Amino acid sequence: MGSYHALLEGAIELHCHSYPSIFPRKQTDWELIEDVKKAGMAGVVLKSHESQTADRAALIRAKEPQLHVYGGLVCNHFTGGLSPSAVDAAIRLGAKIIWMPTFSSHEHCCHFGKKKTRFFNSGKPLVHPAEGLRIWDEQKRILPQVHEILQLIAEAGIVLATGHLAAEEVAVLTDAAIRHKVEKILIQHADLGIAPVPMELQKELARKGAILEKCYLACSADFADLSVEGMAATIRELGAGSCVLVTDYGQEHNIPPVQALSEFVEHMLQHGIAERDIRAMIAANPRQLLGI
- pLDDT tens digits, one per residue of 198-222: 999 999 999 999 999 999 999 999 9
What number is the average pLDDT over the span 147-155?
A: 98
In a domain? residue 5: no
Q: How far is CA 181 from CA 43, 151, 198, 211, 224, in A?
A: 27, 8, 25, 15, 36
CATH of the domain at 96: 3.20.20.140
- Helix axis angle, 199-207 to 228-238, nearest 10°: 40
Task: Indicate the average pLDDT of the chain.
Answer: 94
In a domain? residue 6: no
In a domain? residue 176: yes
The yes-or-no verdict on residue 130 having pLDDT over 80 is no
Residue-number span of the structural domain to which 182 is assigned:
12-290
In a domain? residue 4: no
The domain tally of the chain equals 1
Q: What is the pTM of this model?
A: 0.94
Q: How far is CA 234 from CA 146, 168, 215, in A?
A: 30, 20, 11
Confidence of residue 129 (pLDDT cuts 50, 70, 90): confident
In a domain? residue 159: yes
In a domain? residue 1: no
d(Cα 123, Cα 67) in Å, to the nearest integer? 34
In a domain? residue 144: yes
In a domain? residue 3: no
The answer to whether 29 touches 46, Cβ cutoff 8 Å, is yes
Which residues have C-beta within 8 Å of that of residue 149, sequence separation ≥ 6?
75, 82, 84, 87, 98
